[in-house]
Homo-oligomer: A and B are copies of this chain.
Amino acid sequence: MTKPALRPYSRYSREAVQLLGRSIRRARIEKKLTVAELATRAGLSRGLMQRIEQGDPGCGIGPVFETAAIVGIRLFEADQAGLSAMTAANDAALTLLPRAVRPARPEIDDDF
């Protein structure tokens, strides 16, 4: 009896998390780093490091991104400057949008 998933993640996001984890593992091995070594560098436990590499969706996004950065994986295909630029652009776009959303009426069709 396999444990049912607590949350029904979509295939896309599940695969994305796993890809990131396995990419970290690959980069770690190529750099000849031990799981324990990488965990220490990232400031987390070996157990968590293993879960990250296995693609556990329950892992905090902070620790995952941190280890990815340490082994040299670029997020959003951008370096530090690139991230700042994207952030600025995104924030600029946000100022042009309404702050609160008024959901479109479901268009009730109740006269028949």
- Listed in ascending order, the chain A residues whose CB lies under 8 Å from chain B are 7-20, 22-23, 25-26, 28-30, 32-35, 37, 43-44, 57-66, 68-70, 75-77, 80, 83-84, 86-87, 90-91, 93-94, 97-98, 101-104
One complex includes copies of this chain to the number of 2
The answer to whether B86 and A19 touch across the interface, beta carbons within 8 angstroms, is: yes
Q: A22-B90, A97-B29 are in contact. Are A15 and B83 (CB under 8 A)?
A: yes
Majority-rule SS of A interface residues: helix
Chain B nearest CB from A59 CB (Å) reads 6
Chain B nearest CB from A45 CB (Å) reads 12
Q: A10-B69, A17-B62, A59-B61 are in contact. Are A77 and B77 (CB under 8 A)?
A: yes
